[in-house]
Amino acid sequence: MKVLFVYPNLMRQENVSLGIAYLSACLKAHGHSTRLVDYTWGARIKDAISAVSKFDPNLVAFSVRSGEFIFCLKIARKLKKYFGGEPKIIFGGVHPTVAPEEVIRKDCVDLVCVGEGEGAMVELCQKMENKERIDDIKNIWVKKDGIIKKNDVRGLVEDLDEIPFPDRDIFDIERYISSRDGAIDMIVSRGCPYQCTYCINPILQNLYKRKGKFVRTRSVNNVVNELNDICKKYKIKHISFLDDVFPSSLEWLVEFRQKFPRNSNLDFCCNFRAESLNPEICRYLKDCGCSSINIGIESGSEWIREKVLNRRISNRKLATSFEICRKEGLATYSFNMIGIPYETISHIRESIELNKSIQPTFLQVSIFQPYHGTQLNRLCIEKKWYDGKILPYSHQFFSIVKYPQISRTRIYWEKILFRYRILKDRNFKKALLTLIYDYCFYYLTMLRALIPSPLKAQANRLFRSMQRKD
């Protein structure tokens, strides 16, 4: 059985899809063959047609984020036009999970994978190979002759150690690593216990209700074995742990500190909730090799955070968490968001002032998007601020929401000027360079696939150096 994956990645950022990598590893472990069409490097729609012609897959699997849904449909329709009913086309990932009804009704989509897909994809491929019926596979929705069969999700994989290490080699992994100056991504857990109104996790929690433990963490031995495997295969300097929230169990961190590879200069960054941070946890993270902690501020307005985003944490606690990291010698990265429902210019100024006060080492600002299925998506549709249809392929460029209190153009310029306003009093040169970068970011993204990997690596080094300097 042969499966061709399609990774649209319209942002062209050099992050492999760990979802595709995990699925490929599971399929290969069961004797199936996999290939990839990767749009990170500027591939064209016709490249997918060429890949199907050469590889002759039984199944083409698209990893679909909401903003890339339309692009994926264009490719899938071309494939159907050229090849007809074979190969079958399946859409999986975030968007098909939150909007399966919309996806399965598209003429070019035969199947939809809802939720975590490892077990479902293995079962699907085995049944297709054996020419068995495929309309009873949990997690898989099937359309045949216009009739749709919707299957429930299976129980969650509670022991994540059972899942093979991701197959990064399905990607041009050396090119990814060199473009990021030796950085690579990992996850050590699945699931997030929080209920943020702008996030997919409450949808997943509801989808998997009574289907097993939602928040799961790999054993330290399993994580360290993958780290050792990565270090042997590739020239790695830095690990980015992409977990929604990095494990905060002291027992897990103590063991991780003891077993983290010490025979290299490897360091890592991770995501943490501010309310979970304390000096002891920071010391353990530092001893493990952590160099930077990413913390979501989202808004400097306590009212916006609590009443709109369902994040109940005070500005004082946020400031304390950043100060703890600083005292323990850890760099910090603040995540911010503007264009939030009910947000005004005054609220945006509160976000700027909070960042000025806490002085993160790095900071990022994105523009709120009403992602399908989220509570804020429903609010925006009810208020007629958003028609519920197309989303931009990135949260970096512009707002799709029409508010009565602030225009989309104003949101765009507030985003462009956000970091400049925070940095200008402390370091005007750094602020000005950041402003130029933020203004040009859209155009750089369009050209990103054309930039040679060594130049990207050098740019990453310069940018990190610039961000660290006060």
Is 174 within a domain? no
Residues 191 and 120 both lie in one domain: no
pLDDT of res. 456: 67
C-alpha distance from residue 18 to each of 165, 232, 394 (Å): 10, 19, 19
Q: Which of 236, 237, 260, 128 is nearest to 188 (CA)?
A: 260
In a shared domain, residues 122 and 201: no
Assigned domain for 40 exists: yes
- Per the domain annotation, does 168 fall within a domain? no
Q: How far apart are CA 113 and CA 119, in angstroms?
A: 11
pLDDT digits (tens, 9 = 90+) for 335-368: 999 999 999 999 999 999 999 999 999 999 999 9
Point out the domain boundary residue: 96, 131, 149. 149
Element (H, E) at 257: helix 250-259
Same domain flag for 233 and 301 = yes
Average pLDDT over residues 96-114: 96
Do residues 99 and 373 touch, judged by C-beta distance below 8 A? Answer: yes
Across 78-87, 257-266, 277-286, 320-329, least confident range: 257-266
Tell me, what's the pLDDT at 397?
79
- Which residues make beta-bridge pairs with 90? 61, 111
Q: Is pLDDT above 90 for 32?
A: yes
Residue among 107, 108, 111 nearest 3 (CA): 111
- Rounded CA gap, 39 and 341, in Å? 33
Q: What is the pTM of this model?
A: 0.93
pLDDT for 11 equals 83
Q: Would you state the pLDDT for residue 13?
A: 85
Indicate whether 273 and 133 sit together in one domain.
no
Q: Residue 92 half-sphere exposure, CB side, CA atoms within 13 Å?
A: 24
- Of 96, 128, 149, the position where a domain reaches its end is 149
Burial of 7 (C-beta count, 10 Å sphere; 0-12/13-18/19+): buried
Q: How many residues does the chain have?
A: 470
Instruction: Give backbone dihedrals phi and psi of 333, rounded to 5 degrees, phi first.
Output: -135, 120
Q: Give the number of domains in the chain.
A: 2
Given this model, what pLDDT does residue 407 score?
96
Among candidate residues 208, 145, 167, 150, the one with its CA nearest the CA of residue 23:
167
Cis omega before residue 360 (within 30°)?
no
- Mean pLDDT, all residues of the chain: 92
Q: Are 285 and 140 part of one and the same domain? A: no
User: Are 137 and 248 within one domain?
Assistant: no
* Residues 133 and 200 occupy one common structural domain: no
Rounded to whole angstroms, how far apart are CA atoms 238 and 260? 13
What is the CATH classification number for the domain harbouring 398? 3.80.30.20
User: In this structure, are 137 and 192 located in the same domain?
Assistant: no
- pLDDT greater than 70 at residue 115: yes
Give the residue numbers spanning the domain of 320. Answer: 181-468
CATH number at residue 9: 3.40.50.280
Do 245 and 367 have their domain in common? yes
> Are 216 and 258 part of one and the same domain?
yes
Per-residue pLDDT at 44: 85
Q: In what order do the strands lie in the sheet with 290-298?
A: 183-186, 238-241, 267-272, 290-298, 331-338, 362-367
**Per-residue pLDDT tens for 263-297?**
668 899 999 999 999 999 999 999 988 999 999 99
Does the residue 162 lie in any domain?
Answer: no
Residue 329 belongs to a domain? yes
Over residues 33-75, the pLDDT tens digits come to 999 999 998 878 889 999 999 999 999 999 999 989 999 999 9
Reported as a single tens digit per residue, the pLDDT across 390-404 is 777 667 778 999 999
Mean pLDDT on 193-217: 95
Q: Which pLDDT score is estimated for 30? A: 97
Is 319 among the domain residues? Answer: yes
Beta-carbon contacts of residue 331 (< 8 Å; ≥ 6 apart): 269, 291, 292, 293, 325, 361, 362, 468
Least confident of 19-28, 252-261, 460-469: 460-469
Residue 154 lies in a domain: no
As a whole-number percent, the residues of the chain with pLDDT over 90 amount to 82
Residue-wise pLDDT tens digits, 446-461: 666 667 777 767 766 6
Of the residues 95, 128, 149, the one at which a domain ends: 149
Do 233 and 409 contact (CB within 8 A), yes or no?
A: no
Per-residue confidence (pLDDT) for residue 440, from 0 to 100: 87
Please check the confidence at residue 185 and state whether its pLDDT lies above 70.
yes
Domain contains 161? no
Q: Residue 391 in contact with residue 67, Cβ under 8 Å? A: yes
Based on the fold, state whether residues 256 and 404 are members of the same structural domain: yes
Task: Give the residue with greater pLDDT, 10 vs 22.
Answer: 22
Same domain, residue pair 393 and 306: yes
CA dihedral sign of residues 78, 84, 86, 88: positive
